[in-house]
Amino acid sequence: MNQDKCTIEINGVEVEARPGQMLIEVTDAHDVYVPRFCYHPKLSVAANCRMCLIEVENVPKPLPACATPVAPGMKVRTRSRRAIDAQRSVMEFLLINHPLDCPICDQGGECELQDLAMGFGRDVGRFSEGKRVVRDQDMGPLVSTDLTRCIHCTRCVRFTQEVAGIQELGTIGRGDRVVISSSIEQSISQTVDHELSGNLIDVCPVGSLNSKPYRFSARAWEMQQRALVAGHDCLGSHIFAHVMDGRVKRVVPDACENINETWASDRDRFSYEGLYADDRLDAPLLRENGNWRSVSWPEALAAAAAGLQERAGQGLAALVSPSATLEEGYLLQRLMAHLGSNSIDHRLRRRDVRGQADEPGVPWLGMPVAAVEKLDQLLIVGSNLRKEVPLLAHRVRKAAVAGAGIGFINPADFPVFFPVASTMTGSPDDFWLALATLVRAAAGDGELPAGMAGLLAQAPEPQAHHHQLVARLRDGTRAAIFLGQIAQRHPRFADIDVLAATLARLTGASLGYISEGANAVGLALAGVLPHRGPGGKPRATPGASACEIIGSPPPGLLLFGIEPEFDCAAGSGPARSAGDGRFVVACSAYGSESLLAMADVILPIATWFETEGTFVNAAGRWQSFAAAARAPGEGRPGWKVLRVLAEQLGAKGFRYPDAGAIASELRGLCSDGLPDALAHARLPVAQAPVAGSIGLSELDVPIYRIDALVRRATALQQTVDGRAGAPPAAAQGA
Partner 1 sequence: MSRISSAIKTFSLWDLLIGLRVTLRNFFVKKVTVQYPEEKTPQSPRFRGLHALRRYHNGEERCIACKLCQTVCPAAAITIESDVADNGTRRTTRYDIDLFKCIYCGFCEEACPTDAVVLTRIYEYHMEEPGQNIMNKDKLLALGDKYEGMIASDRTTDAPYR
Q: Which residues bind partner 1 (CB under 8 A)?
A: 102-104, 108, 215-219, 221-222
Nearest CA-CA partner of 441 in 508, 506, 378: 506
Work out how close the CB of 267 gets to partner 1 at its nearest, in angstroms, rounded to a whole number.
23
- Number of other residues whose CB lies within 10 A of the CB of residue 623: 21
Work out how close the CB of 632 gets to partner 1 at its nearest, in angstroms, rounded to a whole number.
17
Surface-to-core class of residue 415, CB atoms within 10 Å of its CB (0-12 exposed, 13-18 middle, 19+ buried): exposed
CA distance 563 to 573: 8
Work out how close the CB of 677 gets to partner 1 at its nearest, in angstroms, rounded to a whole number.
50
Nearer to partner 1, 18 or 219 (CB): 219
DSSP state of 198: T
Work out how close the CB of 140 gets to partner 1 at its nearest, in angstroms, rounded to a whole number.
16
Nearer to partner 1, 80 or 224 (CB): 224
Amino acid (one-letter) located at 501: A
Work out how close the CB of 239 gets to partner 1 at its nearest, in angstroms, rounded to a whole number.
24
Nearer to partner 1, 108 or 368 (CB): 108
Nearer to partner 1, 222 or 288 (CB): 222
Work out how close the CB of 634 gets to partner 1 at its nearest, in angstroms, rounded to a whole number.
24
Upper half-sphere CA count for residue 316 (Cβ side, 13 Å): 23
CA distance 575 to 557: 11
294 forms bridges with which residues in the sheet?
285
Nearer to partner 1, 78 or 145 (CB): 145
Contact between 392 and 514 (Cβ < 8 Å): yes
Work out how close the CB of 100 gets to partner 1 at its nearest, in angstroms, rounded to a whole number.
9
Nearest CA-CA partner of 451 in 506, 499, 496: 499
Nearer to partner 1, 217 or 427 (CB): 217
In three-state secondary structure terms, 729 is: helix
Nearer to partner 1, 115 or 593 (CB): 115
Q: Are strands 224-229 and 479-483 parallel, antiparallel or unpaired?
A: unpaired
CA distance 258 to 174: 39
Work out how close the CB of 218 gets to partner 1 at its nearest, in angstroms, rounded to a whole number.
7
Both ends of the chain: CA-CA distance in Å? 70
Amino acid (one-letter) located at 363: P
583 forms bridges with which residues in the sheet?
556
Contact between 563 and 325 (Cβ < 8 Å): no
In three-state secondary structure terms, 365 is: coil
144 forms bridges with which residues in the sheet?
210
Work out how close the CB of 187 gets to partner 1 at its nearest, in angstroms, rounded to a whole number.
23
Nearer to partner 1, 114 or 260 (CB): 114
Work out how close the CB of 207 gets to partner 1 at its nearest, in angstroms, rounded to a whole number.
12
Nearer to partner 1, 243 or 710 (CB): 243
Nearest CA-CA partner of 323 in 626, 614, 711: 614
Q: What angle do CA 76, 80, 86 make, to 5 degrees?
A: 95
Work out how close the CB of 114 gets to partner 1 at its nearest, in angstroms, rounded to a whole number.
13
Residue 274 vs residues 30, 278, 313, 384: alpha-carbon distances, Å: 43, 9, 38, 24
Amino acid (one-letter) located at 717: Q
Nearer to partner 1, 85 or 222 (CB): 222
Contact between 287 and 599 (Cβ < 8 Å): yes
Q: Mention every residue, 6+ apart, whose C-beta is less than 8 A from residue 287.
A: 293, 599, 600, 601
Residue 86 vs residues 75, 81, 93, 157: alpha-carbon distances, Å: 17, 9, 11, 26
Q: Kind and range of the H or E element at 584?
A: strand 583-588
Nearer to partner 1, 19 or 108 (CB): 108
Work out how close the CB of 146 gets to partner 1 at its nearest, in angstroms, rounded to a whole number.
11
DSSP state of 102: G
Nearer to partner 1, 217 or 552 (CB): 217
Nearer to partner 1, 108 or 426 (CB): 108
Work out how close the CB of 142 gets to partner 1 at its nearest, in angstroms, rounded to a whole number.
15
